[in-house]
Amino acid sequence: MKMTFRWYGEGNDSITLEQIRQIPGVEGIVWSLHHMAAGEEWPMEEILKVKETADRHGFNIDVVESVNVHEDIKLGLPTRDKYIENYKRTIEKLAKVGVKVICYNFMPVFDWTRTDLFRPMADGSTALFYEKAKVDNVDPMELVDNVAKGVNGLTMPGWEPERLKHLKELFKAYENVTEEDMWNNLKYFLEAIIPVAEINDIKMAIHPDDPPWPIFGLPRIITNKESLRRFLKLVDNPYNGLTLCSGSLGANPDNNIVEMVKEFGPRIHFAHIRNIKHFENGDFIETSHRACDGSLDIVEIVKAYHDIGFKGYARPDHGRHLWNEKCRPGYGLYDRALGIMYILGIWDTCEKVNQGGRLK
């Protein structure tokens, strides 16, 4: 397992590379050109700039999260071809600086969705929270406004104001789009890009829908084991793979992440590891990574990765906001650093036990 840390870029993150450098085990930063609109071809100079900055601090830039997919591709509009061409050109450019994995998602309109970005927890920290009844009843415009207020002017992937300005039109465009249409549109996209990814030795890794069920009447298709199986068969090629996000898929208590790690192992190119706690009414909150703090057994999940000899990339996913840190929701320094130490603690213990070492 190669440990990474998501970083939003120079001037766009409260955390510095010097700070990340001091977290044990981090080999690379997970990055993107966050100001690029979905569908645009990424400029080589800007890619090179990120590479130089990362090099100076001794990090690899092997994983990009995300190269976003233009809505016309998800909708299957005739205009999709030009955006797919741009996507291919971006893949080629990223290969030139040694990128190995591209994470992306195929969620209509919204990326991840929460109702509360700073929900107070009993210990005085705050965390991302999802209130089911609220999403079931709220006008999506209101939710977008709340998120915009909560982030204090910082960009949030998936919630770009530019794109969400057109929310009404977007909803209209999806009105008659079914799940089967989404599957067809995804297949069309994959058939076009996977051969380019393969030639350029870049593994594509789809991120599951978060939460893994339809919201606001929009179709969502990457939600459980069956859909992951179907996805991998759409284009049955190792370059067509997964970002297995424990917290996204784990929001549905029926999803068993350990089983997924075992079944999809070689096709998992990127592991997002985080815990959440379910409530009976369908709400959930993002807890610390520790197994006993949430509903997911992170010990078993990390052990499953170890058991399959996972060689891919991993990152701690969202963390709580601790010690009054001012940061992007879910992306503070402290709790993600603690998460890494927990994950590596489990990993190192598995290593030692496997080598016949005794735990004294």
Between 318 and 357, how does the x/- string for binding to ligand DNO read (CB under 6 A)? x-----------x---------------------------
Q: Which residue in the list 239, 245, 289, 342 is annotated as catalytic?
A: 245
Q: Is 284 in the site for ligand DNO (CB under 6 A)?
A: no
- Please say whether the beta carbons of 242 and 269 come within 8 A: yes
Nearer to ligand DNO, 220 or 272 (CB): 272
Candidate segments 97-105, 129-137, 220-228, 283-291, binder of ligand DNO by CB under 6 A: 97-105
Q: Which residue in the list 13, 72, 317, 335 is annotated as catalytic?
A: 317
- Considering only 17, 26, 73, 103, the residue that binds ligand DNO (CB under 6 A) is 103
Indicate if 269 belongs to the active site: no
End-to-end CA distance of the chain: 25
Which ranges in 22-131 belong to alpha helices (H)?
Answer: 44-56, 71-75, 80-96
Q: Is 104 in the site for ligand DNO (CB under 6 A)?
A: yes
Between 231 and 270, how does the x/- string for binding to ligand DNO read (CB under 6 A)? --------------x-------------------------
- Considering only 111, 181, 293, 297, the residue that binds ligand DNO (CB under 6 A) is 111
Classify the C-alpha dihedral 169-223-160-152 as positive or negative.
positive
CB of 274 to ligand DNO, least distance (A): 9
CB of 30 to ligand DNO, least distance (A): 9
3-state helix, strand, coil in the chain (%, to 5): 40, 15, 40
Q: Rounded to an integer, what distance in angstroms lies between the CA atom of residue 67 and that of residue 33?
A: 8
- Considering only 140, 158, 212, 294, the residue that binds ligand DNO (CB under 6 A) is 158
- For residue 43, cis peptide bond before it (omega within 30 degrees of 0): no
Total residues at interface with ligand DNO (CB under 6 A): 14
- Considering only 9, 25, 150, 157, the residue that binds ligand DNO (CB under 6 A) is 157
Nearest one of 224, 211, 220 to 264, comparing CA atoms? 224
Q: Rounded to an integer, what distance in angstroms lies between the CA atom of residue 328 and that of residue 158?
A: 13
- Please say whether the beta carbons of 246 and 275 come within 8 A: yes
Q: Rounded to an integer, what distance in angstroms lies between the CA atom of residue 200 and that of residue 63?
A: 14
Q: Is 207 in the site for ligand DNO (CB under 6 A)?
A: yes
Indicate if 317 belongs to the active site: yes
CB of 330 to ligand DNO, least distance (A): 6
CB of 106 to ligand DNO, least distance (A): 9
Q: Which residue in the list 103, 331, 335, 342 is annotated as catalytic?
A: 331
For residue 200, CA distances in Å to 2, 94, 235, 273, 336 come to 21, 9, 17, 27, 31
Question: Which residues neighbour 217 within 8 Å (Cβ) at sequence distance 6 or greater?
Answer: none
Residue 42: both structure tokens together:
């990424």
* SS3 at position 67: coil
Indicate if 289 belongs to the active site: no
Candidate segments 105-113, 117-125, 288-296, 300-308, binder of ligand DNO by CB under 6 A: 105-113
Q: Rounded to an integer, what distance in angstroms lies between the CA atom of residue 197 and that of residue 227?
A: 22
Between 60 and 79, how does the x/- string for binding to ligand DNO read (CB under 6 A)? -----xx-------------
Nearer to ligand DNO, 326 or 359 (CB): 326
- Binding stretches for ligand DNO (CB under 6 A): 65-66, 103-105, 111-112, 157-158, 207, 245, 272, 318, 330
